Structure 1
């Protein structure tokens, strides 16, 4: 289901005008990162009386509105595709109608796993793709810029943040960091591909969102020898990416973001409180404070 946006003289400059490749941003908003409509609301959604976490209120707006506005306001973004359960389409259109931006928005029904949701959201688009999640409320335009720039040297890129940077922003973070020879990093739920053909690297994530916690899934993706090297912390992050490149027969590269807030997903009470405090902070103190008022018409058909 697509909704075209009529051109307007108030719209941001297009990506072509700025010399950037046109970009589609895919936002995964389904329950459990792509679960079917039969899934149950997660604890945060239940606490706020919502069926979908992406509609939980955050700093006066639905959670998904924050990442969607960052994407819609970015001059390189010409298309948005949101994967969510079909019964939430109307609620998402209500959110989108309040967001300034330009381009085309596409809602696709979330599939039962991440890969199929991404593939469905990528259909009909031949350009570069950026994939993130609806709970990435602190995503900044600067991070999108870094991901786009990295596609000059790689076909698929993924964002990581150093552990110290993450803990500086979120000291209560209890996640398991990914340890390499050159340090420990957190995934930022931010990925980019030069085009649909580069999405074959996403096959590593087929089966659900808890990829890094399931050893058989990691082993299948990177190979047993490489897995042993990773667990032994015998390779750097860049070296691990080179091994992934050989595994998938395409150039894969990491993008290290020094802003630890980019690794924060709003998925529990602690991260919700943290994100709200950062979003409500004065602009100069907000990590990557990105955009101001409406500079373009709303995403509505």
Structure 2
């Protein structure tokens, strides 16, 4: 049985009032100051502060989340030395007062758990360099939680390359297709975060053979290595091992797999933002239309 959820995710936040449970969005923005090459190229301490389209990377993510009708709370996980650089970003956000800064911990899992503290509803987890995050992607992740405890966003290789032909992200090969991770995860509540223990120690889980071996066993590792299992089938096996229902959410918008982490992805994201802005048409007086 196919347990994936498919959505066409557009480039700008849209949507009607959400009737489900309020959502907290956790934005992972941490990184040791002065060590990120992209941040260094722009003279910034942290990648989350790198300018893109006239605003810091993290501002794009927070803007999309802050105006989404389902989002009630935002938590940014980052080192304390970056707090001052983020205050100006937060002051410009709509829905002021729903954002909190949480000091990043030593590893990814503990950072997520700290950012989830005092929240007992659904969580959406992403990264500060996911500047092209769309409201449609948020909608798709929320919808997936109606039938699962954990949702993981993926984009097909052809969609990613159509959006960013010069990029070379890591693709995970399955029996039916290859997918790129979108650094976008949703869980029904903090209790479901126990699945994140698999990620303890950092790194890209799907690309780490030993981590797969430890978590899911040799048989699953062999199936993945020889591309003998579908993405949905792999998630079903993971679900059984962890005791949680985990589903992939397939996003047909390849831009959702773009992490702005080097010069090439920065240029690609900036171009996509310019194109999207040029395509917004607003009504003008006398029935005419003008472009922003």
Q: TM-score, normalised by structure 1?
A: 0.85
Say if 2:155 is the partner of 1:197: no
Structure 2: give runs of 5+ residues left out of the alignment: 1-15, 282-292
User: Is the contact made by 2:22 and 2:72 (CA closer than 8 Å) also made in structure 1?
Assistant: yes
Give the CA deviation at 1:105.
1.4
Say if 2:288 is the partner of 1:277: no
SS of equivalent residue, structure 1 residue 281 = helix
Q: Distance in 2 between matches of 1:141 and 1:62?
A: 19
Please, what is the CA RMSD of the aligned residues? 1.7
Deviates more, 1:43-52 or 1:213-222: 213-222
Tell me which of 69, 73, 82 is aligned to 2:67.
Answer: 73
Aligned equivalent of 1:4:
none
CA displacement, residues 125-181 of structure 1 (integer Å, 9 cap, x when unaligned): 000000000000000000000000000000000000000000001112222310001
Give the CA deviation at 1:259.
0.3
Aligned equivalent of 2:113:
119
Structure 1: give runs of 5+ residues left out of the alignment: 1-14, 32-36, 290-301
User: Is the contact made by 2:34 and 2:40 (CA closer than 8 Å) also made in structure 1?
Assistant: no
Give the CA deviation at 1:210.
3.1
Give the CA deviation at 1:223.
1.9
Aligned equivalent of 1:297:
none
Aligned equivalent of 1:28:
28
Give the CA deviation at 1:285.
4.6
Tell me which of 250, 253, 273 is aligned to 1:256.
Answer: 250
Number of aligned residue pairs: 266
Aligned equivalent of 1:88:
82
Following superposition of structure 1 onto structure 2, how do residues 1-301 of structure 1 map, counting pairs within 5 Å? 18-31=18-31, 37=32, 40-101=34-95, 104-283=98-277, 285=279
Moved over 2 A (4+): 209-214, 282-286
User: Is the contact made by 1:78 and 1:103 (CA closer than 8 Å) also made in structure 2?
Assistant: no
CA displacement, residues 163-217 of structure 1 (integer Å, 9 cap, x when unaligned): 0000001112222310001100000000000001111111111111333333212
Aligned equivalent of 1:292:
none
Q: Distance in 1 between matches of 2:234 and 2:205?
A: 16
